[in-house]
Amino acid sequence: MGIVLFILGIFITYWVVQAALLSALNDHYKTRVHFELTGEWKPCHWNNKTVPKRANQ
């Protein structure tokens, strides 16, 4: 029974980490695309990074 719970825990941990990474990447690319289209930098409330430099400047 212990091995089943261990394997189940590994799968649940993998699923949670994958969901978190996909969510973070999705938010990052939404912000990047918005910046490239409008020039407006809108970081999230927890992200105080400066405006990125454009490649063509």
pTM over 0.75: no
Residue percentage of the chain with pLDDT more than 90: 35
Residue 42: band (very low, low, confident or very high) from pLDDT cuts 50, 70, 90: low
Sign of the torsion formed by the C-alpha atoms of 43, 49, 55 and 57 = positive
Whether residue 31 contacts residue 43, with contact meaning beta carbons closer than 8 Å, is answered with yes
Please enumerate in sequence order all residues whose Cβ is within 8 A of that of 41, keeping only pairs 6 or more positions apart, or say none.
Answer: 31, 35, 51, 52
Residue 46 has pLDDT above 60, yes or no: no
How far apart are the C-alpha atoms of 57 and 26, rounded to whole Å? 26
Which are the contacts of 43, defined by CB distance < 8 A and separation ≥ 6?
31, 49
Give the start-to-end residue ranges of the domains of the chain. 1-37
